Structure 1
C-alpha cells in the first residue's frame, strides 16, 4: 500500500490534507531535529542522549538554543553551503561572514 504513495503526484495541499486525515508517512505530531549536515532525524530522548554522548557534552549549561529565521537570502545561503560543506547550519547561521 505504501508503494501507492510513491507512484502518484502529490501537491502541498494534498500532503497537508493527508496528514490531517492520518494518511501518509508521518502519523500524529512528530518533532524532528535537523543536523549540521542537513540530515533529519526524529527527535526523542534517546536520540538526544546519543547526540550528547557523540559530541562528549558533559555540561548541559554549555549548550545554547538559537532560533533562526529562514527567508530568501538564508535559503540561498543554505543551498550554497549544502553544496560546499558538511557543516551547513554552522556555516550559515553561526559563522560571521
Structure 2
C-alpha cells in the first residue's frame, strides 16, 4: 500500500485518502484573453510528463481537504517529499529530472 504524508495533518496515510490534482507550479497566464488557441491549449492540457522526479498537486479529500504539493519519482512511484501549497519547490539535491 502506498502511503502519502499530508503536510497539514502531519500523518502518513493510505493513497485512498488522497486525490491527484495535476502538475504543481503551473502559473496561470496574466491575461488569458490575449492567448492564441494553441497557447491556451498548452496551458490547459500540455504537461511535462517526465520520467523521474515530478512535482504534483494532491488533495487530502478524506481528511483535512487541503491541497498540497509533492515530489514523486515516476519510475519508482516513491514520494520524495510533500510540502504545503504556496511553498517554493524544494531543492532535492540534484534528483530532479531534466525539464
TM-score, scaled relative to structure 1: 0.23
Which is richer in strand?
Answer: 2
Higher gyration radius (CA): 1
Which is richer in helix?
Answer: 1
Higher relative contact order (CA 8 A, sep 6+): 2
TM-score, scaled relative to structure 2: 0.22
